[in-house]
């Protein structure tokens, strides 16, 4: 196993507290690209007052130990034991001061964990277990201590040196060197530690908190990016203000730093007062970044800022509790985006993402509860389940308790646990106690994997005016759990007449009816709700606002779906009904095609889409969401055995047929929206652009599509419109596509983030030939297998977003991808493991493809020295 990691499972039930308090940590960095020397001094106090000695156990990985001393006595090699990633000092006295000196090698660190190099600077990434690659330490989140960090380096190569907290001293040294000292007054776990050193430019602003303190806001970037920070800064200010207004949470230090790097395994990291960001989530200019990028920046800046309270001030006891901070913080960033942009659109995008990424995960070889019970490599558990499903479970507290009740719970959570490392049970207890409610059974959401299904039937009795809904919940067995329990499921309901009017709802036994949405509760496997005074069979509007993360089964007629699409008061239900109708049509054509029958377009779908397109009252961004057909992977999840080519052909057929039938209306709407006004980044302008570009994507399926698309490309003044047009030309196989790609390449060849888009456009192009293009693009000067953004853009997009390419029937996509997983594993196991998960759904394909994939999985599994990261994914897939 790489890095001395064991490859064995760790279990949640085995948690034991660390026996020592670490009262202080003093760190000294002598910074160099090739070699950095790290000296540390740690004060250990034994927690158990009755004992006089105890072993001290520390974590370390790839460290070159220079010296180790205990209470000022140098330890010889027989006075400590290094075994894999742990160092044990047996029988250390109850008050022990430990000093260590190690050498580390940033330049050769390609895993991007610990201290590593990115362009003109050095930086660290410690979550989850990267601190142990910097120095020996109890590298676990429940060991919190205060840090003092001193750095020295060459002044001209490393003019900027940053760490957490406040800068307290600095000075010059001989030989063109200088030093800086930082102190963080807040005790923190090691995963929140960070240093940055190098040549960086900065953009500065300030924020005055609600209590009147000034906070210096500084964004550090490489000099050429200095004109792309405005949106990130604005987002940060908005996030700080929002957290005060909505959660009454104020920032707690005088400085807030953000550093942008091109070399990052994840999106961004919430290190205390020194966030480190993938440059993708900081840098934006209208000509380089799309509206989706702007929204992504706002969301991620918010997310990392919100961690300051939900993650940093109150952190996790151990990594099994990850969703405590991530699920909650995703919920908070979703709410932030909802308050900044459109709540309904955000909700729809969140649900789309949950269904297309988390549902498959929860039904596959890596299925796990939001709080897992075991893992081999924690990096493999930063999943859609922990994050996105975790956030929907936080949202259910909010649904059950209301905004005021939820905020009461948050307040109590902070009163009880500020400065502590706690568990999801502590969070749930705070919510329950603050509201005087019992959330015992609700706790099952934390321990059960799999997506619950809710099967609904109904009956209307015209004689009595009674309407009964019967709900049955069932969670299918997953690889990790055979028997499932009934969950508490909030069920938000509306009832509509056939004309789309909302019916007042009165349950049997209630004295009066109420209008709007009813929040009902499923607590057992079977629940029944009977409403009285219902004059006609209603159209049920189910799980409004997606009130629980479940799959809903109810046999709607096309007429009922049409009523919901046109009239329901809930934007999510309107969207969901349109998606169901489109999904039904596509899957039906897929079946017809498999039987050799001609595909055809149903008139109900045409009518529904005509209605959407003609709506001039609704938010255009909502109309755009309704027009976007379910993606191929999501459709694949609905089939017993995935028909890769059938889904592609059927979806394409439906899209083209809709475009042809609705061409006049599409043209009209496109023309209205294509107003020729200069670019603006307001939510209104973005909403118009997204709808315009969805209309364009339909028009590219028609005869006149090419000229409209080319005209848009010609006149575009922003990356959103440019990319939409380029994608259109590529997808329609236009003869102009090649020249357009070449133009784009020569214009942006020096711009790493824009070149990512260029790789994506080509990797996503459907068809069995794309694998050759992708292989060729790996030789492009802008590509680097060492850079995660490049790997995700070219290799990740091909294997995860291009089903007809990846699943080419000759297995060429699989073989290519397995080669990449093996190649990456030697460089960056975290990224290799992410890529390896592209094979996770392999058992859902036909026998031929299954055999081809299995061969590749076995080939990867057989690699000598495979990392724990990749072997966990591959072994689970093969099991």
For ligand BES, the binding residues (CB under 6 A) are: 127-128, 266-270, 299-300, 303-304, 307, 326, 330, 333, 382, 387
Q: Do 563 and 496 contact (CB within 8 A), yes or no?
A: yes
Cβ 507 to ligand BES, closest distance in Å? 39
Please tell me the total number of residues recorded for the chain in this structure. 879
Three-state SS sequence of 390-435: HHHHHHHHHHHHHHHHHHHHHHHHHHHHCCCEECHHHHHHHHHHHH
Task: Give CA angle at 791 (788, 797), nearest 5°.
Answer: 125
Closest CB to ligand BES among 288 and 388?
388
Query: Which residues, at least 6 apart from 743, have a Cβ–Cβ distance to it below 8 Å?
Result: none
226 class by beta-carbon count within 10 Å (0-12 exposed, 13-18 middle, 19+ buried): middle
CA–CA distance from 597 to each of 375, 581, 640 (Å)? Answer: 48, 21, 20
CA–CA dist 315, 142 (Å, integer): 8
Task: Give CA angle at 340 (339, 343), nearest 5°.
Answer: 50
Closest CB to ligand BES among 264 and 814?
264
Give which of 75, 131, 81 is closest to 104, Cα–Cα: 131
Using only C-alpha atoms, the chain has a radius of gyration, in whole angstroms, of: 28
**Residue whose C-beta lies closest to ligand BES:** 267
Cβ 811 to Zn ion, closest distance in Å? 37
Beta strand 20-30 with 145-154 is: parallel
Active site residues: 304
- CA quadruple 358, 363, 365, 369: dihedral, nearest 10: 70
Q: By CB under 5 A, how many residues form the interface with Zn ion?
A: 2
Cβ 329 to ligand BES, closest distance in Å? 7
Closest CB to Zn ion among 217 and 386?
386
Cβ 77 to Zn ion, closest distance in Å? 41
Cβ 675 to ligand BES, closest distance in Å? 32
Ranges of beta strands (E only) in 315-414 are 315-316, 374-375
635 binds, among Zn ion, ligand BES, none (CB under 5 to 8 A by kind): none
- b vs e for 280-302, b when ≥16 Cβ sit within 10 Å of the residue's Cβ? bbbbbebebbbbebbbbbbbbbb
Q: Do 93 and 71 contact (CB within 8 A), yes or no?
A: yes
Omega prior to 128 cis, within 30 of 0: yes
Cβ 329 to Zn ion, closest distance in Å? 5
Hey, which residues does 161 pair with through a beta bridge? 197
Closest CB to Zn ion among 388 and 837?
388
Closest CB to ligand BES among 316 and 571?
316
DSSP 157-178: T--EEEESSEEEEEEE-STTEE
* DSSP tag of 372: -
Q: Which stretch binds Zn ion (CB under 5 A): 6-14, 207-215, 325-333, 451-459?
A: 325-333
330 binds, among Zn ion, ligand BES, none (CB under 5 to 8 A by kind): ligand BES
Cβ 537 to Zn ion, closest distance in Å? 46
93 binds, among ligand BES, Zn ion, none (CB under 5 to 8 A by kind): none
CA–CA dist 314, 328 (Å, integer): 12
Cβ 271 to ligand BES, closest distance in Å? 9
Can you give the binding site for Zn ion, defined by CB under 5 A?
A: 326, 329
């Amino acid at each position: 196993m790489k890095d001395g990691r064991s490859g064995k499972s760790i279990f949640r039930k085995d948690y034991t507290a660390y026996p020592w308090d670490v009262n202080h940590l003093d760190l000294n960095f002598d910074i160099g690209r090739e070699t950095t020397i790290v000296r540390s001094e740690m004060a250990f106090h034994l927690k158990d007052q009755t004992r006089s000695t105890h072993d001290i156990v520390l974590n370390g990985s790839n460290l070159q130990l220079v010296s180790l001393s205990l209470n000022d006595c140098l330890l010889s090699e027989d006075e400590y034991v290094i075994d894999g990633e742990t160092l044990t000092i047996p029988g250390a006295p109850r008050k022990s001061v430990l000093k260590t000196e190690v050498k580390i090698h940033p330049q050769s660190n390609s895993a991007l964990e610990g201290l590593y190099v990115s362009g003109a600077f050095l930086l660290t990434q410690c979550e989850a277990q990267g601190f142990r690659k910097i120095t020996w330490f109890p590298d676990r989140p429940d060991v919190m201590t205060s840090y003092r960090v001193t750095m020295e380096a060459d002044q001209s190569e490393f003019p900027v040196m940053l760490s957490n907290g406040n800068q307290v001293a600095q000075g010059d040294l001989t030989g063109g060197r200088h030093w800086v000292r930082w102190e963080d007054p807040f005790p923190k776990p090691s995963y929140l530690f960070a240093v940055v050193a190098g040549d960086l430019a900065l953009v500065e602003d300030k924020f005055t908190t609600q209590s009147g303190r000034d906070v210096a806001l500084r964004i550090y970037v490489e000099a050429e990016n200095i004109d792309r920070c405005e949106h990130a800064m604005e987002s940060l200010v908005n996030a700080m203000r929002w957290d005060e207004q909505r959660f009454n949470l104020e920032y707690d230090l005088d400085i807030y730093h953000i550093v942008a790097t091109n070399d990052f395994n994840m999106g961004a990291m919430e290190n205390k007062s020194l966030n480190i960001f993938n440059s993708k989530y900081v840098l934006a200019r209208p000509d380089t970044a799309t509206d989706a990028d702007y929204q992504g920046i706002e969301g991620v800046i918010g997310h990392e800022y919100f961690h300051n309270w939900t993650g940093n001030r109150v952190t996790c006891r151990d990594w099994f509790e990850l969703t405590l901070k991530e699920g909650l913080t995703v919920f908070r960033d979703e709410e932030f985006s909802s308050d900044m942009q459109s709540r309904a659109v955000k909700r729809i995008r969140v649900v789309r993402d949950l269904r297309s990424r988390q549902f498959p995960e929860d039904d596959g070889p890596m299925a796990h509860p939001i709080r897992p019970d075991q893992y081999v490599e924690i990096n493999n558990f930063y999943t859609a389940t922990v994050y996105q499903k975790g956030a929907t479970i936080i949202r259910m507290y909010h649904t059950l308790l209301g905004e005021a009740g939820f905020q009461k719970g948050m307040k109590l959570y902070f009163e009880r646990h500020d400065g502590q490392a706690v568990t999801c049970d502590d969070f749930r207890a705070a919510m329950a106690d603050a509201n005087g409610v019992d959330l015992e059974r609700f706790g099952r959401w934390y321990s059960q994997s799999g997506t619950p299904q809710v099967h609904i039937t109904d009956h209307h009795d015209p004689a009595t005016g009674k309407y009964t809904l019967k709900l049955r919940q069932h969670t299918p067995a997953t690889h990790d759990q055979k028997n499932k329990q009934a969950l508490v499921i909030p069920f938000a309901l509306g009832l509509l007449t056939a004309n789309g009017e909302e019916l007042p709802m009165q349950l049997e036994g209630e004295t009066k009816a109420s209008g709007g949405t009813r929040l009902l509760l499923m607590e057992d496997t079977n629940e029944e709700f009977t409403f009285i005074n219902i004059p006609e069979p209603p159209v049920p509007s189910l799980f409004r606002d997606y009130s629980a993360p479940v799959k809903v089964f109810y046999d709607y007629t096309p007429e009922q779906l049409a009523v919901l699409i046109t009239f329901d008061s809930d934007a999510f239900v309107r969207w969901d009904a349109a998606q169901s109708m489109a999904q039904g049509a596509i899957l039906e054509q897929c079946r017809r095609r498999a039987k050799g029958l001609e595909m055809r377009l149903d008139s109900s779908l045409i009518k529904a889409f005509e209605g959407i397109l003609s709506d001039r009252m609704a938010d255009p961004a909502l109309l755009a969401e309704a027009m976007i057909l379910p993606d191929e992977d999501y459709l694949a999840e609905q089939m017993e055995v995935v028909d890769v080519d059938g889904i592609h052909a059927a979806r394409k057929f439906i899209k083209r047929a809709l475009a042809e039938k609705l061409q006049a209306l599409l043209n009209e709407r496109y023309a209205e929206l294509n107003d020729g006004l200069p670019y603006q980044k307001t939510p209104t302008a973005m909403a118009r652009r997204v709808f315009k570009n969805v209309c364009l994507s339909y028009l590219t399926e028609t005869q006149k599509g090419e000229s409209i698309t080319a005209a848009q490309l010609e006149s575009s003044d922003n990356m959103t419109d440019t990319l939409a047009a380029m994608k259109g030309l590529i997808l329609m196989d236009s003869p102009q596509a090649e020249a357009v790609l070449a133009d784009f390449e020569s214009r942006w060849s020096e711009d790493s983030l824009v070149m990512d888009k260029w790789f994506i456009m080509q990797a996503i192009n459907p068809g069995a030939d794309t694998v050759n293009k992708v292989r060729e693009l790996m030789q492009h000067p802008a590509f680097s297998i060492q850079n995660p953004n490049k790997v995700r853009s070219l290799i990740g997009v091909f294997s995860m977003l291009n089903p007809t390419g990846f699943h080419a029937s000759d297995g060429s996509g699989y073989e290519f991808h397995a080669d990449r997983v093996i190649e990456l594993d030697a460089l960056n196991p975290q990224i290799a493991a992410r890529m390896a998960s592209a094979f996770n759904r392999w058992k859902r394909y036909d026998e031929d493809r299954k055999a081809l994939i299995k061969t590749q999985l076995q080939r990867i599994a057989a690699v000598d020295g495979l990392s724990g990261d990749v072997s966990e994914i591959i072994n689970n897939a093969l099991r």
